[in-house]
A and B are shown apart, each in its own frame.
Chain A
Amino acid sequence: MDLSSLQLWTFAVIAITFAIYIGIAIWSRASSTGEFYVAGKGVSPLANGLATAADWMSAASFISMAGLISFMGRDGAVYLMGWTGGYVLLAMLLAPYLRKFGKFTVPDFIGDRYYSNRARVVALLCAVFVSFTYVAGQMRGVGVVFGRVFEVPVELGVVIGMLIVFVYAVLGGMKGITYTQVAQYCVLIFAFMVPAIFISILLTGNPIPQLGLGSTLKGEEISLLAKLDGLHAELGFEPYTAGKKATIDVFCITAALMVGTAGLPHVIIRFFTVPRVKDARISAGYALFFIAILYTTAPAVGAFARTNLIRTVSNERYAELPPWFKSWEDTNLIAWVDKNGDGRVQYTAGAAFAGKPVYRTRPDDPDAFLRGAEGQILLENEPTPGTNELYVDRDIMVLANPEIAGLPNWVIALVAAGGLAAALSTAAGLLLVISTSISHDLLKKVVAPDLSERRELFFARLAAAGAVVVAGLLGIYPPGFVAQVVAFAFGLAASSFFPAIVLGIFSKRMNREGAVAGMVVGIAFTAAYIVYFKFLYSGPSAADAWLLGISPEGIGFVGMLLNFAVALTVSRFTPPPPAEVQALVEEIRVPVASKGAGEPRSQWPAAEVDAPPDAPPADGAPPSADDAPPAPPR
């Protein structure tokens, strides 16, 4: 591999894409709170679909998911379905009604619908917590991509990422973020598809990876998946196309991820940016279509990479392995320990050694690796008694894919730019939720309702800047539990926001007492279960102690059911919501406002009745307040 030419390509591709992002941010900077929070509600449904797709697909989707699937086989479907199925719920149960509601944030809806500032504060704390757990991983991802490509420390990579996000999130707000995300979607999907198509042609002769997955291998009579099952059987792995996880666990994880997706504030908030209710519906369709392009390709990439990996390394002499093996060995993503001393790589089921590889270095020079007889880097790790000699990090499946398939340097450069686009676009969306929660939900709605719009916009930018710094620090000094708490983000969203919003729309009878009790019970149960099994449990096998065999990743589904049950029960024994709130529910269920009612914009419904029950209907006119800058409260 010609390293300098590769680095030149990578530098050029990344510089060009970053220049585009910053150019867009300057062109579309926000000048009002309405533009900063929801892009002035003027985003076309197609652009919003593209932006939502980029917002949604993070560094994890781009870099890790295909690798995850290639190691999980059929069970990888929990992520494929879990992270797409939620859009159906979003399109039918949430997005159109929340768009009709017409405010800026999820806590806005919770606070107004449940006529309670306490509920608003709980919702905003959840939104901030969920967003921070998520964003830390994104900033880390930016740092890792930079670190690998330019051989700079991860910390420097995080700082570069922070500066870029700073420019377009702080300057552009939602408007700037939306249009940069459109560009980032184009970069990331191109970067994902080009290697996938090349590899599909190389392996199966079919240029469409989704079809290549079901095709026969080139030069062989056998289909790719059957071949993979055969290779797995030979090496002692479970068959690729069979499930390993318990059915109930797969069910709960899939359901929790779907419901959690629909309840994540940075996804919901995107549907506040389109002009009309019908745009919110179709926009969810566009978003899922653009997401599905990557999500249906990922399982093909996973299977291709798995086949390539086994065919390349299994029982080959280390000394004769292709150069990519050694270059990724240098970055700790792949490692080999020659247990039986035959100089060949035995790749079978089970871990080769405990933990991640720790390389042995010369005592006088910590940068010089100690090498074995074949030239492999020696490890500190204690080998396991099993026969497997190979450690493979799942991220290698996407990152090294172009090299494994022998693709040209510009394709490899593209993958780096795609990974950065995926991480930056998601980080920006999350940072916006955090800054909006602080400047709008907390300052404007709770602490200082008299705040002028100019001051609010100033605080929004300040909060965004603060959030960028905190997110960067989390990326530079990742708390050990970051990977563990991602389960929280989905569990929390599934067990708190989703039921509260759905009931707020579909049940007029749902009141403050029911919703708050439901949220508290749902969150408390889910959080306690995750904390117990992720941090406190010390028994021999946590899996044996799980409730009904449900893992912490899937418990959010049970938390959601509890939330629904508690909310419905409590609301039956407590007073119904005030008439104004019931009128608000009536209003958000239909796409047009009643004449003279305008948009429901009550802060405290008791103080402002938006929709008198006897208001005459609108005759097709758009709601008057729709595109105007946000009205001051009261």
Chain B
Amino acid sequence: MSEPEPTPDDVDAVRRAYWRTNLRYVGVLLSIWFAVSLLGSVLLVDVLDRVEVAGFKLGFWLAQQGSIYTFVVLIFVYAFLMNRLDKKHGLEE
């Protein structure tokens, strides 16, 4: 934290900015989460099944394999983004 001591207003502003960015990350990542699982693997699965890739119908693959891989990646991306955000706002532990 830089000198001089920040005022309460600065602290509030930092926290608000931090929280807004967090909400934006969560919003984008959960949209992807929804798109691969409930949208792609459930609602649109029959449409995607018309496409065949590497021995799999696409919808079937997304439902039984692809969505799970995506979930794992999403969490690691979130952890990476938030660590960077913590640093940027001086809120690192």
Please state if A247 and B43 are interface contacts (CB–CB under 8 Å).
yes
Contact between A80 and B64 (Cβ–Cβ < 8 Å)?
yes
Contact across chains for A281 and B82 when beta carbons are under 8 A apart = yes
Residues of B within 8 A of A617 (CB): 1, 6, 11, 14, 90
7 contacts between A and B (CB under 8 A): A81-B67, A89-B33, A215-B55, A251-B43, A289-B72, A590-B91, A591-B91
Decide if the interface of chain B is mainly helix, strand, loop or mixed. helix
Q: Is A221 an interface residue (CB 8 A)?
A: no
Q: A285-B72, A590-B18 are in contact. Are A81 and B46 (CB under 8 A)?
A: no
Asked if B65 and A254 sit within 8 Å, CB to CB, the answer is no
Closest to B29 in A: A92
Task: State whether A292 touches B69 (Cβ < 8 A).
Answer: yes
Pick from A254, A295, A614: contact of B37, CB below 8 A: A254
Q: Mark A484-497, 1 if CB is under 8 A from B, else 0.
A: 00000000000000
- Which B12-38 residues have C-beta < 8 A from chain A? 14-15, 18-19, 22, 25-26, 29-30, 33, 37-38
- Judged by a CB distance under 8 angstroms, whether A589 is at the interface is yes
Q: For residue A74, which residues in chain B have a CB less than 8 angstroms away from its CB?
A: 45, 59-60, 63-64
Chain B residues in 8 Å Cβ range of A241: 49, 57, 60
Tell me if A213 counts as interface (CB < 8 A to partner B): yes
Would A210 and B79 count as touching, CB distance under 8 A?
no
Q: Does A310 contact B (CB under 8 A)?
A: no
- Known pairs A92-B30, A251-B43, A613-B8; list 12 more (Cβ under 8 Å): A80-B68, A87-B71, A87-B75, A93-B26, A247-B42, A284-B79, A285-B76, A288-B71, A292-B71, A589-B19, A590-B91, A617-B6
CB nearest neighbor in A for B93:
A276
A278 within 8 A of B: yes
Chain B residues with CB under 8 Å of A89's CB are 30, 33
Which residues of chain B are within 8 angstroms of A247 by Cβ–Cβ distance? Answer: 42-43
Interface residues of B (CB under 8 A from A): 1, 5-6, 8, 11, 14-15, 18-19, 22, 25-26, 29-30, 33, 37-38, 41-43, 45-46, 49, 54-57, 59-61, 63-65, 67-69, 71-72, 74-76, 78-79, 82-83, 86, 90-93
- Cβ contacts under 8 Å, B57 to chain A: 225, 241
Please name the residue on chain B nearest to A287 by beta carbon.
B75
CB <8 Å contact, B75 and A88? yes
Binary contact track A76-94/B, C-beta < 8 Å → 1, others 0: 1100110011011101110
Would A251 and B79 count as touching, CB distance under 8 A? no
Q: Bound state CA distance, A223 and B5, in angstroms?
A: 67
- Shortest C-beta distance, B23 to chain A (Å), equals 8
Chain A contacts of B86 at CB under 8 A?
278, 591
The smallest beta-carbon distance between A256 and chain B, in angstroms, is 11
How far, in angstroms, from A214 to B55 measured CA to CA in the complex?
Answer: 5
Q: Nearest-CB distance from B33 to chain A (Å)?
A: 5
Measured CB to CB, the nearest residue on chain B to A77 is: B63
Q: Determine the distance from Cα of A295 to Cα of B46 in the docked complex, in whole angstroms.
A: 22
Closest Cβ of chain A: how far from B89's Cβ, in Å? Answer: 8
Judging by beta carbons under 8 Å apart, are B74 and A81 in contact?
no
Q: A251-B42, A278-B82 are in contact. Are A288 and B72 (CB under 8 A)?
A: yes
Q: How far is the CB of A248 from chain B (nearest CB, A)?
A: 9
A329 within 8 A of B: no
